[in-house]
Amino acid sequence: PDPGKLEPQCGTVPRSDTNASADARFTDATMADTPRRITSSLHPATPGSAGLDLATSTTVTLLESSVHLLPTGIFGPPGPQKSALLIGRSSTSLSGLFVLPGVVDSDSVGEIKIMAWTPFSPCTVPQGTRLKQLIPFPYNPPPTLGEHKERVGGFGSTGTPQILWVQTISDKCHTCKFTLSLQGQQITLSGILDTGADVTVISHAKWPPTWALTEVPHALTGIGGSSCSCQSLHLIQVTGPEGHIASIKPFVLSVPMVLWGQDVLSQWGFKI
């Protein structure tokens, strides 16, 4: 097989196509030109098969290692009083394409998509490649949940999402030396400028032990996720290389670097 191209059968023994009949195959043009199919059009490969195969409805090329949503042309709901599990076929993982599990709710009428990623990009997934299995199971919602309404959508969160922005920090980032002063004591630290941090973060290993700290009741997010932190009890005077002066209470974390935040740069009128 060609490098970077996923084999539709992933090198396994051929099994009958459980996605749909040949006359319902999607074209490789656009999703708008393809017929809408529902989960009732899926059939198990054998009488003993627990899952129904889901295949890609178009040819897709994964150019990055991030998670991609691949169309199937199959729409919910899974069936009367049913929900469904979505799991990847084992042969798919052996080929280097990893499919993430999911759940199709009983009230979902949107398209069921395949969440997949690969560490070996670019990777082309041909139309009709069977990547995932849909396993229906009975679901009777409790009467206390109120009226059962269908909804369109999916692949999102029904609660408040928490997304922590992450940037790779390396020696290629812009650094600058600032002087910190408190009650006659001074230290000079080299820190990173272009992280987009709102506040200044000082490595605990570089913080003078005689400078008092106070615990912060809330976590600081964005530094390796969500971290408990301390903050300077007193205002610290920060002097830049051109003599600019700012007064801040920096955060002190168990991190290996110093990050100069907007709390300093904004007092100098700098923007990054």
Residue 9 has pLDDT above 90, yes or no: no
* Residue 220 placed within a domain: yes
Q: Which residues form the domain of 94?
A: 22-140
CATH number at residue 226: 2.40.70.10
Question: In the prediction, which pLDDT does 29 show?
Answer: 40
**180, 186 in Cβ contact below 8 A?**
yes
46/149 Cα distance (integer angstroms)? 33
| Lowest-pLDDT range of 21-35, 38-52, 123-137, 193-207 | 21-35
Backbone angles phi, psi at 139, to 5 degrees: -145, 120
Last residue of a domain, one of 97, 115, 140: 140
Question: In the prediction, which pLDDT does 18 show?
Answer: 40
Three-state DSSP at 144 gives helix
Mark 163-201 as b/e (b = at least 16 C-beta within 10 Å). Answer: eeeeeebeeeeeeeebebebeeeeeebebbbebebebbb
Shared domain for 182 and 136, answered yes or no, is: no
Shared domain for 29 and 133, answered yes or no, is: yes
Question: In the prediction, which pLDDT does 78 show?
Answer: 82
* Residue 113 placed within a domain: yes
Shared domain for 83 and 129, answered yes or no, is: yes
Question: In the prediction, which pLDDT does 152 show?
Answer: 59
Shared domain for 134 and 38, answered yes or no, is: yes
Q: Give the active site residues.
A: 194
Question: Which of 247, 255, 267 has its CA nearest to residue 230?
Answer: 255
pTM as predicted: 0.46
Shared domain for 186 and 131, answered yes or no, is: no
* Residue 9 placed within a domain: no
In terms of average pLDDT, the best of 3-7, 34-38, 120-124, 150-154 is 120-124
Q: pLDDT of 57-109, one tens digit each?
A: 999 998 888 888 999 998 888 878 888 889 988 788 888 899 999 888 888 88
Structure tokens at 213: 């700290």
* Residue 213 placed within a domain: yes
Question: In the prediction, which pLDDT does 82 show?
Answer: 86
Shared domain for 115 and 30, answered yes or no, is: yes
Shared domain for 109 and 191, answered yes or no, is: no
Looking at the 3D structure of the chain, how many domains does it have? 2
Shared domain for 202 and 247, answered yes or no, is: yes
DSSP-derived secondary structure letter, 33: G
